[in-house]
A and B are shown apart, each in its own frame.
Chain A
Amino acid sequence: MLAAMGLGVSSGGKPLIADIDAAVAPGRLTAILGPNGAGKSTLLACLAGLRVPDAGEVRLDGAPLAGLTPRDRARRIGYLPQDAPLHWNIAVRPLVALGRFPHGDAASATGRAAIDRALAETDLAPVAGRLAGTLSGGERARAMLARVLAGAPDWILADEPLAALDIAHRHAMMDRLRAIAARGVGVIVVLHDLALAARMADDVLLLDSGRLVAAGPVHEVLTPERLGAVFGVDFAYVASGDGEPVLVSAWRGVEGRRP
């Protein structure tokens, strides 16, 4: 269990997040949602142990996360930032091998096996020898995910992993994240695509202006009324071809352009 206890972060006297109490369960795909500036990435960075909160604390399985050494924390929690830079054009395999850094065993049999598994799981084995700078956007996103998977963490925290992907790659990435969660890994993702979150997340933390508005199973949290209040846009669930309800938003902007 990864839990935020009275978490607060401020920057320059302005609170980014405040009084956040939430517990996230392993083996589930949890989406952090909210409008721009709601504090989603700040909350994720705190949960990942990369940002020290000004108030409250993060607990991992009941123990303070801050009590772990950076290496121990890194073995438990993998973090996927939004568009990580690639400062050197290294090959895919050594890029993925960076995920073994907290274990210090990239060259050992255990480490190599973990790297091979991560490459296979993300369908990157055929391009393992290619330079990462030559990958397509979708392949690069997979390589970054493979880097996290190679470390075999109990938790994977990803900040907008879909941001640079087209719709097919978004669905594929969400499928992968679901499969990872199904193995028992706790997956927490910051998302902007509400429809995709409504369809594929198990749980949701909904933020607005640094406050936690609601938390819980996706269909309890993402009601059209609550989303309308938070985002200022009309939402509705409509039936799709396969019978699953799909979350859609209605345009309520310029007169006459309502679809």
Chain B
Amino acid sequence: MSRAGKLLLLALGVALAFALSLLAGKVWVPLWGMAAGDPRGLIMMDLRLPRACLALVIGAGLGMSGAALQGYTRNPLADPAILGISSMAALGAVGAIFVGLGGSVETVAAFAMAGAALAVLVLGLLAGRSASAVAFVLAGTVLSSLAGALTALLIALSPNPFAMSSILNWIMGALTDRGWTELRIAAPLVAVGGVLLWARRGALDALTLGEAVARSLGVDLIRLQLVLAAALALIVGGSVAVTGVVGFVGLIVPHMLRPLFGAEPSRLLLPSALGGALLVLVADALVRLVPGAGELRLGVAMALIGAPFFFALLLRYRRDLA
């Protein structure tokens, strides 16, 4: 099948998942539920539609970030959450709430983006020294633990226990009760970040043959890192600010699509955006269907799927990574 055909098929899958996301939940709303006067129409239009749109945006952004990050670090284990970028974004967001700036979602998003950008720059320093894949993941893990510890510290110091529980809840990552406000904030950030990643796709390809070749081909590695830091800050920071940490999307999606679309980072960006949207839409529809009074957190569900996937990858690559 041609590349365009495969992309079309993926897009079709996204459309189906989007429809599923509108219909599925504790209350199944049939398509005719949208008819005027049917109260179920409210569920669909006011609750599920913005949530599905947000899942689409966040999933696309995280999928694309994963593909770009794997290309940049030349590391098949890279993912914004595994490398601590999401945790640093969460730390930024919690920091904003801690200093009393939690009232404005825009400010929280700005702090989250600053945290994410800082994480990418720290990781970039490591990649610039051509650290091995394992060293890179370890550094990300340490960064992630540090951010987690600092977040916990801020929560512990917080004077308001209610704020604390709501922050904890939010860090787990979910699309529950998110509405048009969150979408209005996240969508432009993810879109601009996506355009930045797209613009640097050639440079990511050039890194396939290592930094020396990329530099000899005219890639300015420092500028590339800055652009990537900005793009990932927009996408991951913007996502974390409205949904909390939803991990592993960026890890899983590029892997599933690499055999279908080829391994060049440039050829994976667009499919990974579609694949990420598909994965998050389906996962978010499924968490609503888990029996019980409440909902499974999306971040928890993704970690339950993603962690075994990560271990499987480690097993597969252990010889190359050693």
Residues of A within 8 A of B (CB): 48, 50, 69-75, 77-79, 81, 84-91, 94-95, 98-99, 101-102, 104, 144, 147, 151
Contact = CB atoms under 8 A, between A and B. Distances in A.
A77 B217 CA distance: 9
16 contacts: A70-B218, A78-B216, A79-B212, A79-B213, A81-B210, A81-B212, A84-B210, A84-B212, A85-B209, A86-B209, A88-B74, A94-B264, A98-B208, A101-B202, A102-B218, A144-B209
B83 to A, nearest CB: 17
Contacts of A75: 218
Given A87-B74, A87-B209, A71 B263 contact: no
B215 interface: yes
B207 interface: yes
Contacts of B203: 101
Given A50-B216, A73-B218, A78-B216, A98 B209 contact: yes
A90 B216 CA distance: 19
A91 B208 CA distance: 12
B152 interface: no
A95 B265 CA distance: 12
Interface residues of B, number: 22
A87 B208 contact: yes
A74 B264 contact: no
A136 B101 CA distance: 60
A98 B215 contact: no
Given A85-B210, A90-B263, A98 B218 contact: no
B208 A50 contact: no
B72 to A, nearest CB: 11
A101 B212 contact: no
A84 B219 contact: no
Given A90-B264, A101-B205, A48 B210 contact: no
B262 interface: yes
A102 B214 CA distance: 10
Interface of B: 71, 74, 202-203, 205-210, 212-213, 215-220, 262-265
A89 B205 contact: no
A258 B220 CA distance: 53
B207 to A, nearest CB: 7
Contacts of B265: 88
A240 B205 CA distance: 47
Which of A73, A81, A98 has the most chain B CB atoms closer than 10 A to its own CB? Answer: A98
Contacts of A84: 209-210, 212-213
A104 B205 CA distance: 12
Given A79-B213, A104-B202, A90 B218 contact: no
A79 B262 CA distance: 26
Given A84-B209, A86-B208, A101 B218 contact: yes
Main SS of the interface on chain B?
A: helix
The 7 closest A-B pairs by CB, nearest first: A74-B218, A79-B216, A88-B263, A87-B74, A71-B218, A70-B218, A102-B218
A101 B209 contact: no
Contacts of B202: 101, 104
A81 B212 CA distance: 7
Given A94-B264, A101-B202, A101-B205, A87 B219 contact: no
B263 A89 contact: yes
A98 B216 contact: no
B284 to A, nearest CB: 31
A74 B263 contact: no
Which of B208, B209, B215, B217 has the most chain A CB atoms closer than 10 A to its own CB? Answer: B217
Which of B74, B209, B218 has the most chain A CB atoms closer than 10 A to its own CB? Answer: B218
Contacts of A104: 202
Contacts of B208: 86-88, 90, 95, 98
Contacts of B209: 84-87, 95, 98, 144, 147
Given A86-B209, A88-B74, A102 B264 contact: no
Contacts of A94: 205, 262, 264
Contact of A70 (B71, B213, B215, B264): B215
B219 A70 contact: yes
A98 B212 contact: no
Contacts of A88: 71, 74, 208, 263-265
A13 B63 CA distance: 46
Nearest to A83: B210
Contacts of B262: 90-91, 94
B1 to A, nearest CB: 16
Contacts of A50: 212, 215-216
A79 B206 CA distance: 13
B220 A70 contact: yes
Contacts of A151: 217
B193 to A, nearest CB: 22
A203 to B, nearest CB: 22
Contacts of A95: 208-209
A81 B211 CA distance: 10
Contacts of A77: 216
B266 to A, nearest CB: 9
Nearest to B210: A85
Nearest to B204: A88
Contacts of B213: 79, 81, 84, 98, 147
A70 B220 CA distance: 7
